[in-house]
């Protein structure tokens, strides 16, 4: 129950975290008690430093300090903007790139939140979605039209 309470507190405060099941590795379970000089679990670490167990986290939550100590999960819209602007040409697609052209990809099948959120963010319901310098160019049909008209390369270079 203590670990569940810790996860609930961290989730409630939108803290970006990952976890390790100490029952999956007895050596880690015992070694971490010695390493941290903390005999119980759960143990919360931020940037490699032990913050404490559930009681300390509850105290930090009550005092408001928890929000200043723990890193926040990035909001979806900020994450989408960051991904869109990761490279001058950004393609959201199923799978990963297979050609050696200077562009970045994001496999939408790997992250359902991005997959659904980008549809709303861009107001474009399908994939692939091609972005150049943070602006949506369009999907496959538009890319094909641009290629046929000879406009694709200037668009990819950000000349249009």
Torsion of CA 66, 71, 76, 81, to 10 degrees: 140
Average pLDDT over residues 86-107: 78
Peptide linkage before 156 cis (omega within 30 of 0): no
pLDDT band at 160 (very low <50, low <70, confident <90, very high): low
CB 72 within 8 A of CB 14: yes
pLDDT band at 156 (very low <50, low <70, confident <90, very high): confident
The helix, strand and coil proportions of the chain, stated in percent and rounded to the nearest 5, come to 50, 15, 35
Q: Cβ contacts of residue 113 below 8 Å, gap of 6+? A: 76
Per the document, the length of the chain is 160
Average pLDDT over residues 123-138: 93
Query: Quick check: do 2-69 and 76-157 share a fold?
Result: yes
Q: Order of strands, edge to edge, in the sheet holding 129-132?
A: 104-107, 89-93, 129-132, 135-138
Average pLDDT over residues 33-41: 94
Copy the structure tokens of residue 62.
């009550």
CATH tag for 76-157 (out of 1.10.1040.10, 3.40.30.10, 3.40.50.2300, 3.40.630.30)? 3.40.30.10
Lowest mean pLDDT among 28-32, 79-83, 91-95, 148-152: 91-95
CATH superfamily of 2-69: Glutaredoxin (3.40.30.10)
pLDDT reading at 99 higher than 70: no
d(CA 127, CA 121): 13
Give me the residue spans of the domains in the chain. Answer: 2-69, 76-157
Note the pTM of the prediction, 2 decimals. 0.52
d(CA 7, CA 83): 27
pLDDT band at 101 (very low <50, low <70, confident <90, very high): low
Query: Residue 29: what pLDDT?
Result: 94
pLDDT in tens, 26-35: 999 999 999 9
Instruction: Give me the helices (H) in 13-89, please.
Output: 26-36, 54-63, 66-69, 76-84
pLDDT band at 53 (very low <50, low <70, confident <90, very high): very high
pLDDT band at 142 (very low <50, low <70, confident <90, very high): very high
Copy the structure tokens of residue 98.
């297979």
d(CA 25, CA 96): 34
Biggest alpha carbon–alpha carbon distance for the chain:
69
């Amino acid at each position: 129950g203590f670990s569940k309470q810790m996860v609930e507190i961290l989730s409630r405060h939108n803290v970006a975290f990952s976890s390790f099941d100490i029952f999956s590795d007895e050596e880690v379970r015992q070694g971490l008690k010695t390493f941290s000089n903390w005999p119980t679990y759960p143990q919360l670490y931020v940037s490699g430093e032990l913050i404490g167990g559930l009681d300390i986290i509850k105290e930090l939550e009550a005092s408001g300090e928890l929000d200043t100590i723990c890193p926040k999960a990035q909001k979806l819209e900020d994450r989408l903007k960051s991904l869109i602007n990761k490279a001058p040409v950004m393609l959201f697609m199923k799978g990963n790139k297979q050609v050696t052209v200077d562009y970045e990809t994001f496999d939408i099948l790997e992250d359902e939140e991005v997959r659904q959120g980008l549809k709303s963010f861009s107001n474009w319901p399908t994939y692939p979605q091609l972005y150049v310098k943070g602006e949506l160019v369009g999907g496959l049909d538009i890319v094909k039209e641009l290629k046929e008209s000879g406009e694709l390369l200037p668009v990819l270079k950000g000349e249009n």
